[in-house]
Amino acid sequence: MPKYCPTCGNSSEKSRFFGNFCESCTKEKFSKGLPLIISISRCKRCGKIKAGGSYADPTTRNLEIAIGQQFGKNRVYLIEYEGSRAKLEVSFDTDHGTIAANHEVEIAYKKVLCEMCYKKACNYHEAVIQLRGNNHRINRFIEKVSRYFDLNNEFISKIEQADNGMDVYVSNKRMAAGLISKMKLHPTTSFTLAGVKNGKRIYKNTYALHFE
């Protein structure tokens, strides 16, 4: 006995069925429940988008992750996109098998400052590296810090001329300490209380280095 779809009258001899309904009606019903507008946060300074909890380059893969986050348990495959329109294939497991439907969405970009750009904008720094002594070695050290921080997505917030050297303000104290120890240098370290955040004392570290 063939089954007939109660919505469109299609028979199970001609079409695949998911429970009582034919494939195309099941897909249509499934598609109707999907979001049409997807809101994605995009940094107005660096262009990174929020994908999977952090900001990342707007690659196809990251865009797919950012869109997919808003489809709950459904799996999303990004077929193509242009400007703010994106074509997707969305699939969902049912008791009668997996349904995959093509779906189009409009991406609404929300202008934000990502955490890193926000920190840069307010000259955020966790540590100061005080460099004194030989100018040439100081400059080489600053180049190293700059490269190392860049590579690890952190930054130098400012460099100030000081008596007999330079003060380099950096965004991440753990990274500063790591680099200094990797270079087998032995700084004089001091800590200044900078404030309290969520009940925890926040210290600014100062690493003083002297180059002969």
Q: Which residues, at least 6 apart from 205, have a Cβ–Cβ distance to it below 8 Å?
A: 126, 127, 128, 173, 176, 177, 189, 190, 191
| Shortest Cβ 209–Zn ion spacing (Å) | 31
Closest CA to 210 of 129, 143, 128: 129
Beta carbon nearer to Zn ion, 101 or 131: 101
Contacting residues toward Zn ion, per CB under 5 A: 5, 7-8, 10, 22, 25, 43, 45-46, 114, 117
Closest CA to 31 of 108, 97, 87: 87
Beta carbon nearer to Zn ion, 42 or 173: 42
| Shortest Cβ 65–Zn ion spacing (Å) | 17
Tracing tokens 């007999």 back to the chain, one arrives at 164
Beta carbon nearer to Zn ion, 10 or 74: 10
Beta carbon nearer to Zn ion, 7 or 134: 7
Strand, coil or helix: what is 128?
strand
Beta carbon nearer to Zn ion, 26 or 74: 26
- DSSP string over 69-106: GGGTTSEEEEEEEETTEEEEEEEEEETTEEEEEEEEEE
| Shortest Cβ 23–Zn ion spacing (Å) | 8
Phi-psi region of 203 (alpha: psi -120 to 50; beta: other; left: phi over 0): beta
| Shortest Cβ 50–Zn ion spacing (Å) | 10
| Shortest Cβ 115–Zn ion spacing (Å) | 8
